[in-house]
Amino acid sequence: MFPIMRRISKVFVKQGYFQYEDKVKRREKSVRTGLYLSLSVACFLVFFAVSNAVPIPQPPDQNRHVLIINSYHKGYPWTDNVLAGIESVLKDGKSNITLHIEFMDTKRVVDKNYFYHLFLYYRSKFEKVRFDLIIVSNKDALNFAMRYRDLLFPKIPVVFCGVDAQNEILRQKAPLVTGVLEDFDIKATLDIALKLHPNTREIIAINDGTAIGAVKKQIFKDALAATGKNLIATIIDDPVLEDFEKLLKDKDKDFVVILMGSFRESSGAAVPIEVSTPILTRYNIPLYALVEYYLGYGIIGGKLISGFHQGMLAAKMGLKILQGEPVDRIPVEHKSQNIFMFDYNQLMKFGINQDTLPEGSIIINEPKPVPSEDKKIKWEVIAVPFSLAIIATFLVLYLLSRKRREELLGKLSRDHEKKIEARTEELMKSNTDLKLKITEMKQAEAGLVEERLKHLTLFQRAPSPFFVVNRDYRYSDFNEKMVELFECTLEEFRKMDASNLIPKKLLARLFESQGPVNNMESFETQLEVRGKTKRFLFSIVPVVLSGERFVYGVGQDMTQLIQSQDISKQQEKLLEKLFEVLPDAAIISDREGTIKYVSEGFFKVFGFSRDDFQSIDAWLQKVCSDESLRDVAMNAWLRAVKTRNIGEEILQPIEGKLATKDGASLERELWFIPMDDMVVSLIRDITRKKVYGERAPVSRNQESVETLAAGIAHDFNNLLLVILGNISLAKTSLTREDKAFEHLIDAEKASMMTKDLIQQLITFSKGGELSKRAMVITSLVMEITRSTLSNSNIRGKYTMSDDLFPVEVDEGQIRQVVHIILRNAMEAMPQGGTVAISFENVKVSREDYLPLKQGDYVKISFQDQGSGIKKEHLERIFDPYFTTKDAGSQKGVGLGLAIAYSIVKKHGGHIAVESSLVRGTTFHIYLPAFGKDVIHDNDLTETAEAVMKKKGRILVMDDAKSVRDVTGAMLSYMGYDVEFAREGREAVAIYRAAKESGEPFDAVILDLTVSGGMGGKETIELLIALDPHIKAIISSGFSGDPIMSEYQEYGFKTAILKPYKMEELEEVLERLIHDSDLKNL
């Protein structure tokens, strides 16, 4: 009160009422005393009236509970505005309404099971609360409420706001649901922007790539056309903020930006509007938007969707429902009350006059006018006596009515007492019955909720895809496995047509059938999902729920099972082809003696047909005219039948003369080899062995044999690449806990064993020139040792001289020799240990008694700590098919050391072995020294730095479509963009077009041999002429071609041998594209 009186006194002094300061003080004191007295009397009368008033009886407390579920978090501008609008209606202080406010926080929580966790949380939290109304803001809250309403809040009305008209739930016209839709007034915003900026020549609209974004784009185009102006319109969906900033720097300042969506980072993450909008204001461009939460961050304004008004309208609808109005009589509000809103600071920044704004516009940040001191005091002086007069009038009226109320209350009180006594007795009885019924209903309801929850949990957590289809061929319900099957979002799956999965005729028959609803139908289907082929078996059955017919279905993933079957069939075909090209005749029988397979080589040599014999016994009867030879052969076959081990006693050849169909006699050697449930009978020609002994001359057709070996390697390894590639891709869609994962691992191991077997057979049988290059052998041997022993309990120990001679070797074949010796050492030391590897220069002379020419050699020794080799076995250890391994994981066919011996011998070297049951086994390899200085191969050393995982564009050239498909699938899974060419000329054309378009390839993979077209060797010459810095990889299934080891001389950066696994391909590409050593080659 004192400040008011002082201001009043100052006014009086200014107006000249008092001339002296002492008069002013006396008058101020007098006025102050009068005002105090008046206010004191008024306050006393009010207190007296209130304290003695008789309270009017109020109706019993009818407290209403309203649950408000917000999609986003507290503090998010839009959510806070919506909540303020709701509270402005429901928290007016007059209604007995309790608000329960929840925030789902879906902008910051990303979890596909989040809704289910919220359901469990809300069920526990609100177990004892009975809600009268649910208000939800934005689509996530609406989707959650509709999914779990029947379990959490059965038959409770739902009012929504902040939801666009494209929401799928609104199309289903669910009962007890109404609300306010978002209506983007793009035309009004565009018109006011053009009005306030008449010199605008271009409009840039920032949009998003969603379904509602497509609707906004069309509305924008229609609004722009309605202006009748010749404007440039640019619509950008989901732009990267950094790219858009670059665009702004290069543009003139005669355009306007309308924000209809949000920006994203280069990583794809969304940029919050409170971050992106202030950044755009730095470029001094007019910014307009459609939603109010942009306001205050730098936009000028627009006709904006108001979160406050959305919440207020939803709350008003909810209030009508609480007052008893049926929900179906409250239609959905399609036109939200959008408001012209502007930022005063931005208006001033762009020199916009407020008079040009639409009438009724709201302006934020506008400074409030400060009234003058004199006017304030005048109104305060007038207000005090006027207020006292009003208070006095109220007191008089109140005292007059008080007496009448007291009389009325007395009469009402007596009547109520009589009615209450009568009613109390009646209610006591009814209450007892009601409690009993409520208890029974709660028990029944608890059981029903528990059953429904159990069903929902089983349905959602089922390991197989489950779904329910309605008459509109839409998925009315489904579990998470269905969404994972199609690899899409929840919203994308809801929009899918079920007839894309289930044949329309089958759906129509199930819906239209009037028969029993338990007739189950099953069908197989193949789905193409994001470049991957999936195969499923679905079972569907019609069901009737609440009088309406649905189709209920469950699926089973058959992809891995079918792939495993396909892999088994391909392996059988591979082995069949292998037996066809073997120079020896072969017969495969089961252990009962029934012949299952006969090679073409047998038919060609012996002249018999498949119908001439059906069993081993019948075959031996026909080809063994000598009865004693027949008995020996039959006994050997029976020994093979009785064992599953390939040991010395089994692999004993039987020599003798076998008869052909026309009666001729052939010198042959019989081998009976047990393999799983079969016995393989090999018939080898020993004519040359008889004539020349062990040193048979080289065939004059050696070149033809090499060509045949190359063809075998190419075809076989292409097929194996398809198998291994598909296995690798199948493994990426499984976890190690899946049963199918173990089957794929077994198939992968079998395929790699097939690869090794083919390579061994080809190496063992081929001749010709080696693909040699000079090197110091230590780095290569150490690298192979580390790789081979990496996952074992065995380590290598090295001893070497500093002046070791270089050698000239075929790197691929020497790698195979070292690997074979190390594998034998690992099998000899199952408990672990050390392999001592030594390198030394030696001079061989005649006194050394070695099968070598005199001269300088490099001697490499491998000494293990195993149990050694028996003396009787040492003489045969390098013989083909000789093995001492038992059945099981170490089972082999005895070609390893024979192949190693053949390779070393072709290098002009020698391999020897010495063994002791105490000291273990030592293999010595002698390789001729090479008389030139060579550069150490640093590429074989390990690098300590991890390869950066970056991706790029790859061009794959291969004439086999299956190879292109599986290689492309593996590269796509790694994150590369892939294009394909069938042969060289097509590859050159594609590479040239990509280079000219500014999007060149980071690497190319060229097949060495192409049927009916230009192969890799010819293609690389054209590509180097086009791009001298091209990064090219040569690929082949035949390691014997010189280009595979001397690839750099032909212009390639590296080579990869088919078949390869996805991990091997990825390692080669990462080293090629990102490793500086390879790039500088």
Q: What does the longest C-alpha to C-alpha distance in the chain come to?
A: 157
What does the angle CA 478 – CA 482 – CA 486 come to, to the nearest 5 degrees? 140
Last residue of some domain: 550, 575, 593? 550
982 and 1074 part of one domain: yes
Contact 800, 785 (CB under 8 A): no
Confirm whether 651 is domain-assigned. yes
Euclidean distance between CA atoms 44 and 59, whole angstroms = 30
414 and 526 part of one domain: no
Question: What does the pLDDT read at residue 895?
Answer: 64
Burial of residue 1012 (number of CB atoms within 10 Å: 0-12, 13-18, 19+): exposed
Euclidean distance between CA atoms 834 and 819, whole angstroms = 16
CATH number of 925's domain: 3.30.565.10
49 and 198 part of one domain: no
114 and 209 part of one domain: no
Question: What does the pLDDT read at residue 708?
Answer: 55
* pTM summary value: 0.36
Contact 915, 924 (CB under 8 A): no
212 and 139 part of one domain: no
Confirm whether 594 is domain-assigned. yes
Give the range of the structural domain holding residue 418, as residue numbers without chain letter: 1-55+396-444
Confirm whether 556 is domain-assigned. no
646 and 685 part of one domain: yes
Contacts of 575 (CB under 8 A, 6+ apart): 754
Tokens 């790539």 found at: 209
CATH number of 1061's domain: 3.40.50.2300
342 and 222 part of one domain: yes
Confirm whether 476 is domain-assigned. yes
Question: What does the pLDDT read at residue 583?
Answer: 57
28 and 48 part of one domain: yes
Question: What does the pLDDT read at residue 950?
Answer: 43
Confirm whether 665 is domain-assigned. yes
Euclidean distance between CA atoms 1031 and 949, whole angstroms = 17
Q: Establish whether the linkage from the previous residue to 1059 is cis, with ω within 30° of 0.
A: yes
Last residue of some domain: 413, 444, 475? 444
Tokens 């393999």 found at: 675
Phi, psi of 920 (to 5 degrees): 95, -160
Euclidean distance between CA atoms 418 and 413, whole angstroms = 9
3-state SS assignment for residue 371:
coil
Confirm whether 381 is domain-assigned. no
Give the chain's residues under pLDDT 50: 1-24, 31, 46-61, 647-649, 688, 691-703, 706, 767-768, 887-893, 932-950, 1076-1081
Confirm whether 425 is domain-assigned. yes
Overall number of domains in the chain: 7
Question: What does the pLDDT read at residue 571?
Answer: 59
196 and 343 part of one domain: yes
Confirm whether 762 is domain-assigned. no
266 and 279 part of one domain: yes
Euclidean distance between CA atoms 898 and 878, whole angstroms = 5
Helix axis angle, 961-974 to 1062-1074, nearest 10°? 60
Contact 914, 841 (CB under 8 A): no
Last residue of some domain: 682, 697, 712? 697
Euclidean distance between CA atoms 89 and 101, whole angstroms = 15
| Residue 574 tokens, joined | 């591979």
Question: What does the pLDDT read at residue 20?
Answer: 37
904 and 1032 part of one domain: no
Edge-to-edge strands of the sheet including 158-163? 97-103, 64-70, 133-137, 158-163, 177-181
Euclidean distance between CA atoms 860 and 807, whole angstroms = 12
87 and 160 part of one domain: yes
